[in-house]
Amino acid sequence: MSKIFDKTTDALAASANLRLLRQNITSSNIANAETPGYKAQKVDFEEALSRALDHEGLGKMHTSDNEHFLMGQGAVGRVRADVYDNPDINLTNDGNTVDLEKEMATLSENTILYRAALQLINKKLGAMKYAATEGAR
């Protein structure tokens, strides 16, 4: 049995889901910019997604531990983001580590990339719809 969606569609869907997580974390950081003692969080997933794309469908290989490289069928769908306290930011007098300018820039960049992923998914689905309905004419 063949899959309807290809590797690209799976990667775009995983990217959109992980970008939604980044949007939530960044929004939380911005909302807590004035909260004393708040530690800004950071989300990384690009490297794990890239690695999973490289190893997608490599034979029948699968992993037995979450710490292993993702391999085999469906590796892209199993990518998880690393969420941790942001080590790149200086501590203020009240113990808050949110850099509002960096967070706003991250939010803007992430919004653009999220919308781009959704537009590409829509184009791929539109092409499939065309092939299913108009392609036979």
CA distances for 22 relative to 38, 41, 56, angstroms: 17, 10, 23
Give the pLDDT mean for 32-38.
93
CB 121 within 8 A of CB 16: yes
What is the reported pLDDT for 78?
Answer: 66
Question: What does the alpha-carbon distance between residue 109 and residue 72 come to, in Å, rounded to a whole number?
Answer: 31
Query: Per the structure block, which two tokens stand in for 106?
Result: 């991250």
Instruction: Work out the pLDDT band at 36, boundaries 50, 70, 90.
Output: very high
What is the reported pLDDT for 7?
Answer: 79
Per-residue pLDDT at 75 exceeds 80: no
Question: What does the alpha-carbon distance between residue 110 and residue 20 come to, in Å, rounded to a whole number?
Answer: 9
More confident residue, 97 or 70: 97
- Regarding pTM above 0.85, the answer is no
Question: What does the alpha-carbon distance between residue 21 and residue 11 come to, in Å, rounded to a whole number?
Answer: 15
